[in-house]
Amino acid sequence: MHITTREFVNNPEQATHNSQTEPVIITRGGKPRSVLLSYDSYLAIQQPQSKVETLFDCFAAGDPAVADIELNIPPRSTAQRPPVSFGSDRSEG
């Protein structure tokens, strides 16, 4: 929800009430200047976000019903591949 600074000054109770269900963006000159949040929303964004150390940790934190699925991923080939030519061998014509 967006309201102007003037609307906020004229009716702060309504803005506070609306902020309980969604953030209220207060604009000045048509540009966002402030955001009014419920206290619960504020606390939620203040909580430190857990840092995922590895891709395994990211997937391990998911649904426990699929946590034990084993994937059969074949090892990478060790065969030597031919070198890649980037066109430096082409003759100009």
Instruction: For residue range 53-84, list pLDDT tens digits in order.
Output: 777 777 666 677 766 778 788 887 777 777 78
Mean pLDDT (whole number) for 2-23: 95
- Residue 18 in tokens: 């609306």
> What CATH class has 2-66?
alpha beta
**Tens digits of residue pLDDT in 20-34:** 999 999 999 999 999
CA-only gyration radius of the chain, Å: 28
- Top pLDDT among 88 and 71 is at 71
- Determine the average pLDDT of the residues in 1-14: 95
pTM of structure: 0.51
Domains of the chain, residue spans: 2-66
Q: List Cβ neighbours of 37 (8 Å cut-off, separation of 6 or more).
A: 19, 23, 24, 45
Given this model, what pLDDT does residue 10 score?
96
Q: Which helix (H) or strand (E) is 33 found in, with range?
A: strand 31-36
CB of 26 within 8 A of CB of 3?
yes
